[in-house]
Chains A and B, each alone.
Chain A
Amino acid sequence: MTRRTTTPTAGQAAQEAPAADGGDTPPALLRVTDLVQEFTVKGSRPFARARVSAVAGVSFSIARGETFALVGETGSGKTTIARALLASPPALSGSVTLNGRPLPVGKRAKPDAAQGGSGIQMVFQDPFGALDPRWTIAGSVAEPLITAGVTDPAERRRRIAEIMHLVGLDVSRFAQRLPRELSGGQAQRAAIARALVAEPDLLILDEPVTALDVSVQAQILALLFTLRQRLSLTSLLIAHDLAVVRALADRTAIMYLGRICETAPTAELFRSPAHPYTAALLSAIPPGLRGGVQRERVRITGRQPSPLNPPSGCRFRTRCPAAQDTCAEAVPELRELAPGHEVACHFPLLPLTTAP
């Protein structure tokens, strides 16, 4: 893993040489550097405007075939990042490259319709919201193919049948149904088929199983796992349920208030969290029932500060049990603890192996 920092110059460097990734690591399919997103909202007084800092300099990359998870609580900016990748709306600044091709960034950027979409597809939490209620399942699944320029109807039918079979929906039974005639699990399968039919480079899964019942959740997780292996999918998983992340993701980044606190291979992150916030998150989940781990509870108090007026320095310091004066003064940058394990904390819970 190469080391990334959130210094201002890193963004420009990556923009100039997107593929200049060192050595033996697999080439990154998606590279996000210094992504910043802000929104203007109504201020406290009439006509006043305030700026919400939703994402403040986030960098990460996803290798081909990898599942990368962004985890964080409500308001941490994970969905904002996903939307910025889809350019709806595009990020304020920073750079995003997919397959070495830059994606639109900046206020006046437009979604890249000319190239038949950006090569990114998304699966949402609520499948019924993602499927047009008046379209048949076959119609919904066909739409991305039409956008991608597959004009031959026979070819389209073949690909629809293929993908529906792959997600476990019988074409003869489901193709002509309407979304309301499907159960939640079946509708999510249809939404996954729609996302995958045009063979996107990157699949974004935004809370894909949160709205589903326990046993259906397990079915969809198993499906996503199989699809990942059969199609060697590259995906960005967005979730707040750490157990889901544990089941699907190769690498995980923990977000807090628009910044990444910690990134590590998933198993390592669960085994040895280095950021106090990660430790608090992990200790808040009830131990699993199949030989669980009883973690010592790291309690955090108070609530997430407003992104209208984020704390100086480390954004977690107002709730951190280990906060000191330095934390208010300097923004901690992501530093490498072990290969692939980076933490943005002045006083990490694990010793730094390399000099900072």
Chain B
Amino acid sequence: MKNLTKYLWLAPLFVLIQILLLNNVQFINYINPLVYVLLIITLPQDTEKWFIILYAFLIGILLDIFEGNIGLNSSSLVFIAFISTYIHKIVIPKNSIDIKEKLTLETLGLKTFSVYAITIIFIHHLFLFSLENFSNSGIFFLLLKVFLSTITTFIIILIFQLFAYKVTEK
């Protein structure tokens, strides 16, 4: 439970990083990194399921209020919160880590973490960008945006993780 209170105050921090920094450094039309997905990714496996869903909804609705599009971020985050509990079972080898442990680069190792994180980031970006461009045609544009943004988000998340790793090491 101590861990979860930490997650609660991390939520507004990541929302602020997203709206004030990352939404402004979109390099080209195709790349829009969404780093707050990290919060859902790293939740320990034994987290109460209702907490994951409500937590995702909280982050989503905060982002929606700032971006002025109620429902867009919250629905995509709630969706991956739901999916992530099933992806744990598929991607993470049984008994490889303690279920109370956070799912980070440090605990999972680079290979498993990459597969796990990229799967979730990809599903999230695909869901969000298709919802956003719902009636707009241009499947090519959509897929390119999803791919490039997934890669960028993943790289930024890796940097975040390496940074956090070093801090805890000291």
Is this pair of chains taken from one and the same complex?
Answer: no
Q: Which residues of A contact B (CB under 8 A)?
A: none
